[in-house]
Chains A and B, each alone.
Chain A
Amino acid sequence: MKLVKLIFKNALRHKLRASLTIVGIAIAVMSFGLLRTVVTAWNAGVASSAADRLITRQSVSFIFPLPYAYRDQIGKVPGVAKVTWFNWFGGVYKDKTQFFARMACDPETLFDVYPEFVMDAEQLAVFKKERNSCIIGSGLAQTYNLKVGDAMEMDGDIYPGKWQFVVRGIYKPRDKATDVTQMFFHWQYLDERIRRDDPSRAGNMGWFAVKVNDPTQSASVSEQIDALFKNSRAETKTETERAFQQGFVAASGAVLTAINVMSFVIIGIIMLVLGNTMIMSARERTREYAVLKTLGFSGGHLIMFIAGESLVISFLGAVIGLALLVPMVSNFEQVMPKGFFPVFYIEPSTWVIAAAAAMLVGVAAAIVPIQRALRTRIVDGLRFIG
């Protein structure tokens, strides 16, 4: 027999109680992991921001357009490597619940500024040539079962009317943080139609994405860009892509804080649950600990027995909880409106934090029972009637 065997046997001595505690920990670990994954997904845009990209938008609000003519002026600012631009299209695909980002872009420069979108060269060449073509992310293609050559029809809302597109390319992600649920089409296609239907809105774009040569010069380049358009009819605000994305996330700051707090409250709750279990089982075993001490087992042995027992329970709970996390996250993603979280995956750090939290809880829950077991004199322990 090994002493570890005794730890395992003790941990599972009261099968119902141990099972309930393990299930409780598993649910808590799973919930913790899910909440952390939601927070990660919320921050995905920030996480995937490139250090060498700036966003130039209208200084008053993101929803006001900027003139096309700004493109060349921005491109001439020292330190600017490449400029591309976008228009938020909106629109409805199939029905209003089907949400994903649809944007007009410049096919010539998009991939220079966003190298994380990986595209087949042939598909890219076709996309560049065909005015009504579009490209979609691999996630989007999978969700709607779209392939190259398929047609996509949309009802415009910001830009009214029926819009016909043909999928000419499917981009893949360079890394896990890359959003693969977006659709891009020719800005020229959009602008031509606006020129015809609503000329007053023509020649405008939503924002510029600016690639800089040296990320350490971002602040200076931003200042220079904004200085160009100071006192113009459309002043600009240039900031790093990270700051731009953080601006979106900040709008939901209270919700995110609440989710974060909740995830740690859950850890607190499992600590109380396990602590309670450990205190009960250690109390019931007061006499046994006294017997072990009588037989010559030291305080160190008792610490090992009690902490080991607590860790076995928290470990089993963590393993089950983490095993359940994968299907849970997958199901959660399914029930969320499509495109709500463009990037939804369990970060490696979530696994580590959840497992570490469970183990920490295991250790913390054993502290009080250990203190009691060590403090109880053998003669008192032997007289104990549980």
Chain B
Amino acid sequence: MIVPAIVFFACALLAVTGAILLILSREPIHSALSLILVMIALAILYLLLGAEFISAIQIIVYAGAVMVLFVFVIMLLNAGVEERTDFSKLAKFVGLPLGFFLLLVVARWLYTSRAGSVIGHGAEAVTQGFSTRALSAELFQQYLFNFEATSILILIAILGALVLARKNP
């Protein structure tokens, strides 16, 4: 019964490590590979939460399609080592500590808030996962209009990308 805890902490460590590597690496291709690591760790966490369909489309759409697009553009543009520029003193000595402070406050609020603890106890009652059948029924009945609207959104995105990528006359 200790296995879910081990899987959770291993995946959490993997995801945070990947995010830190994304910040620290100076080659864009290394950033892309560490982002893929984060996405795969999150897909395993979705499986742990019982959302199989979301886990599958996380792998297929994010790690498969979107990140392949990123890697393709990085290789197409031959993106090399990122230049470093100096930050202002204000950003370095005031912005960074305030940013970490905000992060700590948000994490502490999430951890100690009444909502979090109540939800934490409530979740222990739930044992079975979400069924993909119920999810698709929800998606194609209650959210049908939104689903059709996203198809228009995708169409507009394709047209926008085509217009932007067209050679200038």
A and B bound?
Answer: no
